[in-house]
Chains A and B, each alone.
Chain A
Amino acid sequence: MEYWFWTILYVLIILWYIIVTLVVAIGGWKNIKEMITVLKNK
Chain B
Amino acid sequence: MTNFDLLVDGIIVLLYLAGTVAAGLWMRKFVSGVDDFLVAGRSVNLYLGIASLAATEFGIATCMANAELGFKYGFAGITPGIALALAMFIVGKTGFCIKPLRDNKVITLPELFKDKFGEKVRWASGVVIVLGGLLNMGVFLRQAGNFLAIVCGFEFAYLEIIMTTILLGVALYTILGGMISVLITDYLQFVVMSIGLIAAVTLFVVKFGWFDMLLTMQEQIGPGAFNPFEGGQYGWDRIALDILLAFAVVLTWQTIIARVLAARDTTTAKKIYIGTSPFFIVRFALPALLGIAALYYFGSDQFSGSNAIMAMPNLIAEVLPVGLIGILVAAMLAADMSTNSSYLLAWSSVIYNDIMKPIHKGLWSDKKGLLWNRLLIGFTGIFLLLYGLWYPLKGDLWVYMQVTGTIYLSSMSVLLIAACYWQEANNWGAIAAIISGSLIPISYLVLQEVEATQQMVLAIGPYKFGIATYFIAGICMYFGSKMKLILYKKI
Residues of A participating in the B interface, judged by any CB pair closer than 8 Å: 2-3, 5-7, 9-10, 13-14, 16-18, 20-21, 23-32, 34-36, 38-40, 42
Contact = CB atoms under 8 A, between A and B. Distances in A.
21 contacts: A2-B226, A6-B75, A14-B201, A14-B286, A16-B278, A17-B282, A20-B278, A20-B279, A24-B54, A25-B51, A31-B45, A31-B47, A31-B49, A32-B48, A32-B184, A34-B45, A35-B40, A35-B44, A36-B30, A39-B40, A42-B41
Contacts, number: 94
Contacts of A34: 43, 45
B227 A42 contact: no
B183 interface: yes
B285 A38 contact: no
A10 B289 contact: yes
Contact of B30 (A10, A13, A39): A39
Given A2-B227, A20-B279, A21-B194, A35 B201 contact: no
A23 B201 CA distance: 21
Contacts of A21: 190-191, 194-195, 198
B281 interface: yes
Nearest to B227: A2
Nearest to A27: B47
Interface residues of B, number: 41
A26 to B, nearest CB: 8
Contacts of B202: 14
B119 interface: no
Give the dominant DSSP class at A's interface.
helix
B194 A3 contact: no
A42 to B, nearest CB: 6
Interface string B249-290: 000000000000000000000000001001101100110010
A29 to B, nearest CB: 8
Nearest to A35: B43
A32 to B, nearest CB: 6
Interface in B160-213: 180, 183-184, 187, 190-191, 194-195, 197-198, 201-202, 210-211
B311 interface: no
A36 B75 CA distance: 42
Contact of B191 (A13, A25, A35): A25
A14 B204 CA distance: 14
B201 to A, nearest CB: 7
A36 to B, nearest CB: 7
A18 to B, nearest CB: 6
Contacts of A24: 47, 50-51, 54, 190
B198 A18 contact: yes
B198 A17 contact: yes
A39 B226 contact: no
Contact of B187 (A10, A13, A28, A38): A28
B32 interface: yes
Given A6-B214, A21-B191, A13 B281 contact: yes
**Shortest Cβ-Cβ A-B pairs, 5 listed:** A27-B47, A31-B48, A31-B45, A21-B194, A2-B226
Contact of B211 (A3, A14, A16, A38): A3
Given A13-B286, A21-B195, A21-B198, 7 more contacts: A6-B226, A9-B285, A25-B190, A32-B187, A35-B48, A40-B30, A42-B32
A26 B45 CA distance: 13
B46 interface: yes
Contacts of B289: 10
A15 B480 CA distance: 49
Nearest to A23: B47
Given A14-B198, A17-B194, A35 B281 contact: no
Contacts of A29: 187
